[in-house]
Amino acid sequence: MTPNTDRNQDLFDRARRTIPGGVNSPVRAFRAVGGTPRFVQRAQGPHFWDANGKRHIDYIGSWGPMILGHGHPAVLEAVQKAALDGFSFGAPTEREVELAEAICQLVPSIEMVRLVSSGTEAAMSALRLARGATGRSKIIKFEGCYHGHADALLVKAGSGLATFGNPTSAGVPPEVVQHTLVLEYNNLAQLEEAFALHGRDLACLMIEPIAGNMNFVRAEPHFMRRCRELCTQHGALLVFDEVMTGFRVGLGGAQAHYAQLLPGFRPDMTVLGKVIGGGMPLAAFGGPRAVMEQLAPLGPVYQAGTLSGNPVATACGLATLAQVRQPGFYEALAAKTTSLMQGLGQAAREAGVPFCADSEGGMFGFFLLPQLPRNYGQVMKTDGAAFNQLFHGLLDRGVYIAPALYEAGFVSAVHTDDDIAQTVQAAREVFATLAR
């Protein structure tokens, strides 16, 4: 009997004995695509090496934070220096203030900000603050937008137009989501009806302006304009979840792009994560002073966190933001991402495979569909079997994309022309097999 030499499989088998599903976050388990997860041993620049020592071109980048690539010298130096001073104090530090100042300077809609440790925590806290600031209970979210695993946000659409949702997870009682309306993304009719029926009771509308959890789907400008108008008209807060898009699609996040299309546009609150921590556990939520001062210790809305504003994480975040603020950074990043999408599109056309793609800054999405989807239902029309074949074909050729058709991808500033060329060539070979 030939001995198993696949250390990824060995580690996965071992992990499943002590960790549910063998992973600490579900998408890592490869359940959507099948096969064995890659256990990362180390990473550098745009690459990582798995437990078998195989190198992969990384288009996940820790699901977005590694915008500078892995192990950027300036970031590494900042983290090492901070770690020497101490890992955690449970008391304020100067770097917390510096990071808050940087965020407020770079995102004009944010006058004050609270640092936390994860995107889920930030979204959950922003939701509580919106309810506390407005004195209302009901909220709107959109199918296909993921805002973390807080109970009130783990919900799918009900059976009728503008109805309240149903839990998507065991352990979430129906009464917990009874105040959550789930609408179809980019559906103006549902949006109008929801506000007509419930406008006086709505605390907030929470949305990913560019959804990254149904692959990559933009909120259309006229839809976003109406979200802003209706929230203003009815006294609800417009909450942008920019955990993925913040400092990833541009220096001011997705909201800066909408401000260019819709002069004067801004959300009331913003949830940030990923890039602002540079790969360390750090997130934030912020907005106008009058709203943020409702938080304890100034106001009645309670929120706390022992590790919030962690000194090593803030050092990592500050060093990352210092790099992305360099002139021309996002223009160069967007050019790399566009080049990758164009190359993949050309390879698909050569093989006669349905393909469409979109990108902004260093964030992208592609679909095995003839045209870009506008909502989650359209995303799910993608040929799942074909995507799985593409995923594994690329993986075998050393190209690592998200192991699920409904997740966006990410390019870093250090992906090279050669990385992109290798990726396109790998895709060309796989697309040829899909066309048979």
Specify the amino acid at residue 5. Answer: T
For the residues of 63-82, what is the DSSP string, one character each?
TTT-TT-BT-HHHHHHHHHH
> Is 185 one of the catalytic residues?
no
Task: Kindly give the interhelix angle for 188-198 and 221-234, rounded to the nearest 10 degrees.
Answer: 0
> Is 274 one of the catalytic residues?
yes
Which of helix, strand or coil describes residue 3? coil
Q: Tokens 């050092």 — which residue?
A: 315
- Number of other residues whose CB lies within 10 A of the CB of residue 135: 8
> Is 146 one of the catalytic residues?
yes
The 8-class DSSP code of residue 169 comes to S
> Given 50, 58, 141, 146, which residue is catalytic?
146
Whether the CB-CB separation of 68 and 58 falls below 8 Å is answered with no
> Given 50, 58, 241, 358, which residue is catalytic?
241
For the residues of 214-276, what is the DSSP string, one character each?
SBSEEPPHHHHHHHHHHHHHHT-EEEEEETTTTTTSSTT-HHHHHHHHSTT---SEEEE-GGG
Question: According to the 3-state scheme, what is the secondary structure of 391-424?
Answer: HHHHHHCCEECCCCCCECEECCCCCCHHHHHHHH
Buried b / exposed e along 355-369 (16+ C-beta atoms within 10 A): bbbbbbbbbbbbbbe
> Given 258, 274, 358, 376, which residue is catalytic?
274
Q: Name residues whose C-beta falls within 8 Å of residue 101's C-beta, 6 or more positions apart in sequence.
A: none
Token digits of residue 163: 């109805």
Whether the CB-CB separation of 87 and 117 falls below 8 Å is answered with no
Question: Which uninterrupted H or E stretch holds 177?
Answer: none
Token digits of residue 310: 């962690």
Specify the amino acid at residue 87. Answer: F
352 backbone φψ class: left, alpha, beta (φ>0; ψ -120 to 50): left
Sign of the alpha-carbon torsion through 404, 409, 412, 414 = positive
**Which sequence positions are flagged as catalytic?**
146, 241, 274
